[in-house]
Amino acid sequence: MDSNILFTPLNLRGCSLKNRIVMAPLTRNRAIHGTDVPHQLNAEYYAQRASDAGLIISEATQISPTGKGYAWTPGIYSQEQVTGWKLVTDAVHVKGGKIYLQLWHVGRISHPTLQPGGIAPVAPSAIAPNKQRTYIENGTFAEIGMPRALKLEEIPGIIEDYRKAAANAIKAGFDGVEIHAANGYLIQQFLSDTSNHRTDNYGGSVTNRLRFALEVTEAVIAEVGSDRTGIRLSPVSPANDALDSSPASVYFPLLRELNKLNLAYVHVVEGATGGPRESNGFDFQALRKEFNGIWMVNNGYNLQMAIEAVSSGYADLVAFGKLFIANPDLAERFKQNATFNELDTTTLYGGDAKGYTDYPTLGATTK
């Protein structure tokens, strides 16, 4: 295996990446309270990692007020938010980095206190997730209750929200967008037979359950181009209680349809999001063969696994999450086979610069 292969450049549909190492989307809950606007601290955080990562994927960013599921997460639906994100993209580009924005609607993974007017969050069906909690404005985790099933006539409006959010992302200076269709949020709720019990054109058969994901993707592509559109999937993750009873029957047909759309990439979470990599018999190698474009992998990868994935031709890019939180110079540490900073788990969600922009680089630690 070629240990240098992770540090070779990649042409991502016209976006030149310096290496194959990607900073995964990471929710950190540090937008401005009340407006969900990114600010200078966020710009510093992303800029610290921009000269190191081949590509940064932003933290999940709500496409509308009703798409919000956690306190202090950023949005991309207001002019203030677009201006705030421009601080971030400018800072990243000054450092020679590339950055995509992750488009997010949480669906039922929310709480009335986070919704406009205190109403119930929306979902494909009125099915509450089992024993799930979310992070609310008072800084505590609250139990998720019963969502409201979307009316058929409301669905085009949400698809339009994705389109507008994608347009806003490009206005804010992002190099592209990633559609968040993973981790049990709205798009995966439509895909899964455990969370989607609809009897109209968006539920029932696999073809119908794929419809929302594909219509969102097509709307985003129509707005920003297929060359600037990626998508994230988590076929076997139990995150947020939206695991399908037969993932292969859903994700293989989905990939065949996505393959026709000429996307910039597909980003796949292998195993349980942030947890065990066990696939329960799901064949990720076979799934990869359904897609002719750039394949990005994620979840529990170390340096050796990443080298093997890219060297073998299975993956083109490898996304790292927690390692990038604690190590803004992760690629350089990989290159030097250096030790890693220890992750401070008490500062992951909310707060200030502590545990956010104060992790030292190698140069700083050796002075």
Catalytically annotated residues: 185
Place of tokens 């997460």: 73
What the block records as the tokens of 167 is 């347009």
DSSP state of 73: -
- 205: left (phi > 0), else alpha (psi -120 to 50), else beta? beta
Helices and strands per DSSP (H, E), number in the chain: 11, 14
- In sequence order, what E strands does 210-354 have? 229-233, 265-269, 294-298, 317-320
Q: Give the three-state DSSP class for 359.
A: coil
Q: Are strands 229-233 and 265-269 parallel, antiparallel or unpaired?
A: parallel
C-alpha angle with apex 358: 94 to 21, nearest 5 degrees?
Answer: 55
What the block records as the tokens of 240 is 């947020």
Give Cα 130 to chain centroid, integer Å: 22
Task: Calculate the CA dihedral of residues 103, 108, 114, 116 and round it to 10 degrees.
Answer: 90
Q: Please, are residues 12 and 265 in contact by the beta-carbon 8 Å criterion? A: yes
Bridge partners of residue 142, in order along the sequence: 134
Task: Calculate the CA dihedral of residues 126, 238, 188, 325 and round it to 10 degrees.
Answer: 120
Distance CA 135, CA 36 (A): 14
DSSP state of 75: B
Place of tokens 């992302």: 169
Residue 51: which of 26, 18, 81 has the closest Cα?
18
